[in-house]
A and B are shown apart, each in its own frame.
Chain A
Amino acid sequence: MARFPFSAIVGQDEMKLALLIAAVDPTIGGVMVFGDRGTGKSTAARALANLLPPIMVMDGCRFGCSPESPRACPGPCEATKASKRAVPFVDLPLGATEDRVLGSLDLERALRTGEKVFEPGLLARAHRGFLYIDEINLLEDHLVDLLLDVAASGENVVEREGLSVRHKARFVLIGSGNPEEGELRPQLLDRFGLSVEVRTPRAIEDRVEIMRRCAAHDADSEAFSAAWGEEDDKVLNQIARGQKRLAKMDVPDDVLVDAARLCSAIGVDGLRGELTLMRAARAYAALKGAKLVRREHLLHIAPLALRHRLRRDVLDEAGSTARIERAIAEHFV
């Protein structure tokens, strides 16, 4: 069955924007999606992975080596040819053990021949693609720590069971969770690049449109995907253009000053917030086809880049988004 097309997703503009920004600049550091069940979070993430053009991978490489840097992996990767493969989308199951995630000793080889061979885990599989974690707030803390580390460094280092292995693991981390069911520690939250809040569409028209599209997709998924092919191609072009522009995207000094002012106005401490804000603004400007980053790009993207970094005030009932909007209204209008 063909996947649900990205462009056929009704509403969810903020989530789609965050995913596109992460696609343009994968170094942004992952996207955290807050929201209830049944709001189409994982559908959107899967749809984006599905939309991206296939990547070239060295034949038989268990670490997903690309032909530009072949044999960069620790595994035996002797192939000289590469072939096309879909962008990986790895769905991390909730009960996953460290072994499965990091990789572990290859049990079969160890038992049969006494050889110590590394069996790659889910991180190796997600290399050059997406790692999606539903209900990340219910995941063991030490695993979340580890995932964020690897996502930030782009490299998985395994030092256990007598193994010493390092391999590349660059992926876009997408976590989702419902804060009503338990929250992530603030230290971990801060390490996500962007965060979005997803709500269920309220308008009856939107809901009916969703029902209609899902019914059409259920009835004939191939035809449905074909019908949205043109729209999906537009999105794809937009990403490709954005990636090209990003390299040459300039940030004028006054925008840098704006970013610093905004961060200090809402009390985001630490460099990470400011850096991510700039990065996100650059990617957004690139996505929009602009030549340089302007203030409106920065302000548009600010809630996504900053809302999860605000210090939680137990006694302030207003949400983080409202606090950012308040600061923008006070300082920039």
Chain B
Amino acid sequence: MTSQLADALLAARLLAHSRDRLGGMCLRGGGPARDLVLDALRALLPPETPFRRLPGHIDDDRLSGGTDIAASLASGTLVLQRGLLAEVAGGVLVIPMAERLRIDIAGRVAQAMDNGAAFLLILLEDGADGDDRPPPALMERVAFDLSLNAVRPADLATPLPAPDTPTPATLDSEAMSALAATATALGVASLRPLLHSATAARAHAALTGRALAEMADLEAATRLILAPRATQLPPEPEQPQPPAPEQPEREQEQNDSEEDDTPPDIPEDLLIEAARAMIPPDVLDAIAKGRAQRSARGGGQGRRTGSAMRGKPLGARPGMPGGGVRMALVDTLRAAIPWQPLRRRDPAPEGAGPIRFRRDDLRVRRFEERSTTVTLFCVDASGSAAMSRLAEAKGAVELILAQAYVKRAEVALLAFRGAGAELLLPPTRSLTRAKRALSELPGGGGTPLASGIALARQLADAIASRGRTPMLVFLTDGSANIAADGSPGRAQANADALTAARAIAEARIDAVVIDISPRPRPEAARVAEAMRARYLPLPFADAKTLNAAVALATQPERKRA
């Protein structure tokens, strides 16, 4: 059995033991392995425990309880429905495709958890790349964040764990301070994982029959909870550790366990050292790339253009309420009233009120919601551009950022240099993060213009699929010298760049190409033409002029309404 599956099953046992203290878990990937873990959890919990799945299209009334409009109209009396969150109390709430969960639903679920609704939350995540993560508000509240991607089919023959018979266990001050030091060393800032790790260590000791948590329990808690949330590598062991707190009195329950072990010695540095080796490879990878900032994961949850749900009211139109679409009551009444004399001639249906409704009377509200614009800066950070204008380009981007901040538009940043293109900043509204990404932008190397354009296209599609409007701003000198396959060579590189540019035109994505070479050359203009983008040669412009030009180019006459 791989350690991933074993860990997930152990997590299930810990969850079953401390049900209302650990929140739940997030399981990434794994198909049948995931089902196995869910089965295991079901077997560990009392048989009558409710299991509910939360569909992504759930509406507010179904989630938190409220009026069942269709049933109310049919019967003529108010029909209330119980919310899913109330139904699942004391049970397990499973959210499939959690990475696509709407942020408002996530907010409701998080709120229910904070208000002491005692359910276990299981987030199932299907995202392949790990860029799209479940809403941070929920990730923060579940103790475990485990991947099942490496589980092999042969492992699935694993027997389910039998229900445990735990004994009470405690955690001494040394153990707590070891966990606290480890969390700090791993860069886990939030207190929730730390508190979860203490609970898990205690639960692990209880399941093993130990009255006092030992190194093994702390290791399990670290491996399952702290290590997957690491945002930095622990400092090398030589570095001085923070001074250990004075030993306060231990208020530890006397336990009648047979082993009268001397308090186990738990050196902090040993646990931190062990924690180093426990960080999962994908997290290590993210740390190495500097992407494991606290909120870099899943920060940019997409906003829907749910024009039927919020925004400026536009008036009503006929339709069925439900699924988030709200009924326009006054308009519905207005539609029904003129027909009343006619309808009264028919025999009254059972339970009819003073007003008789038909399905055709229903009106739903419409709202106008401006779709958020995401400006994607594609910065040429190659040697040729870096030499000339990269610093100015950065300045311009900062100014545009400051404007976007006021208008609450979102920005993203990708750079291309050397062998390929890289997304440095996923769509965000945070000035702080954007500025950091920008200041860390390195320059130098070849110009893989084709890769840059291709990645921009891909991101623009992703942005559009979330109902937001992408706007590409290329800052380049247009002199490509790395082809799409990464091989050097000017001719092929230019041809590839033009092909990629035409794809942008075909996808009808708005774009601007700003030529940042000191002397405008035909290359960048040709790329702009292929892209059907505006071309702005800015030979001597400073950051302010550049900003004004971009503002002008991006404001009027959009290709798409």
> A residues bordering B, Cβ < 8 Å?
1, 36-40, 42, 91, 93-99, 105, 107-108, 110-114, 134-135, 137-138, 140-142, 161-162, 178-183, 185-186, 200-205, 207-208, 210-212, 214-215, 218, 312, 314-315
For B290, list chain A residues within 8 Å (CB): none
Q: Is the CB of B430 within 8 A of A135?
A: no
> B residues bordering A, Cβ < 8 Å?
21, 60, 67, 72-73, 76-78, 102-108, 110-111, 114-116, 136-137, 140, 171, 173, 176-177, 179-181, 183-184, 189-195, 198-199, 202, 242-245, 293-295, 299, 309-312, 326, 329-330, 333, 353-355, 398-399, 401-402, 405-406, 408, 428-433, 435
Alpha-carbon gap, A200 to B173, bound state (A): 20
Q: Lowest 9 A-B CB distances belong to which pairs?
A: A95-B104, A38-B190, A94-B107, A182-B429, A207-B180, A38-B192, A108-B78, A205-B245, A314-B402
Q: Is the CB of B60 within 8 A of A95?
A: yes
For A1, list chain B residues within 8 Å (CB): 116
* Extra 12 A-B pairs, beta carbons < 8 Å, given A111-B76, A210-B191: A37-B137, A95-B103, A96-B104, A111-B355, A134-B107, A135-B137, A161-B330, A180-B430, A202-B184, A215-B171, A215-B198, A218-B199
Q: Which residue of B lies closest to A100 (CB)?
A: B60
Alpha-carbon gap, A182 to B193, bound state (A): 23
How far, in Å, is B110 (CB) from chain A's closest CB?
8
Q: Is the CB of A112 within 8 A of B107?
A: no
For A208, list chain B residues within 8 Å (CB): 173, 176-177, 180, 245
Q: Is the CB of B103 within 8 A of A38?
A: no
Alpha-carbon gap, A212 to B173, bound state (A): 8
How far, in Å, is A91 (CB) from chain B's closest CB?
6
Q: Is the CB of B78 within 8 A of A315?
A: no
How far, in Å, is B89 (CB) from chain A's closest CB?
14
Select one of A99, A182, A314 contacting B428, CB under 8 A.
Answer: A182
User: Could you give 17 example pairs across A and B, Cβ below 8 Å?
Assistant: A38-B193, A91-B111, A93-B107, A94-B108, A95-B60, A95-B102, A95-B105, A111-B72, A112-B76, A142-B311, A142-B312, A161-B330, A182-B428, A182-B429, A204-B181, A207-B191, A214-B195
For B67, list chain A residues within 8 Å (CB): 107-108
Select one of B192, B353, B406 contacting A113, CB under 8 A.
Answer: B353
Q: Is the CB of A105 within 8 A of B398?
A: no
Q: Is the CB of A36 within 8 A of B354?
A: no
Select one of B77, B111, B401 contacting A112, CB under 8 A.
Answer: B77
Alpha-carbon gap, A205 to B246, bound state (A): 9
Q: Which residue of A lies closest to B77 (CB)?
A: A112
Q: Which residue of B lies closest to A201 (CB)?
A: B191
Among A95, A108, A110: residue with most chain B CB under 10 A: A95
Alpha-carbon gap, A113 to B352, bound state (A): 11
Alpha-carbon gap, A210 to B102, bound state (A): 33
For B183, list chain A residues within 8 Å (CB): 207
Q: Is the CB of B432 within 8 A of A179?
A: yes
Q: Is the CB of B73 within 8 A of A111?
A: yes
How far, in Å, is B466 (CB) from chain A's closest CB?
15
Alpha-carbon gap, A99 to B140, bound state (A): 29
Q: Is the CB of B431 within 8 A of A183?
A: yes
Q: Is the CB of A207 within 8 A of B194?
A: yes
Alpha-carbon gap, A26 to B67, bound state (A): 35
Do A38 and B181 contact each other (CB < 8 Å), given the known contacts A161-B329, A204-B245?
Answer: no
Select one of A42, A105, A204 contacting B329, CB under 8 A.
Answer: A105
How far, in Å, is B84 (CB) from chain A's closest CB?
14
For A178, list chain B residues within 8 Å (CB): 295
Alpha-carbon gap, A179 to B294, bound state (A): 12
How far, in Å, is B548 (CB) from chain A's closest CB?
16
For B77, list chain A residues within 8 Å (CB): 112
How far, in Å, is B186 (CB) from chain A's closest CB?
13
For B198, list chain A residues within 8 Å (CB): 211, 214-215
Q: Which residue of A lies closest to B114 (CB)?
A: A42
Select one of B171, B244, B430 contacting A179, CB under 8 A.
Answer: B430
Do A200 and B189 contact each other (CB < 8 Å), given the known contacts A207-B183, A208-B176, A208-B245?
Answer: yes
Do A91 and B115 contact each other (CB < 8 Å), given the known contacts A108-B78, A185-B408, A204-B245?
Answer: yes
For B173, list chain A residues within 8 Å (CB): 208, 212
Q: Which residue of B lies closest to A202 (CB)?
A: B184
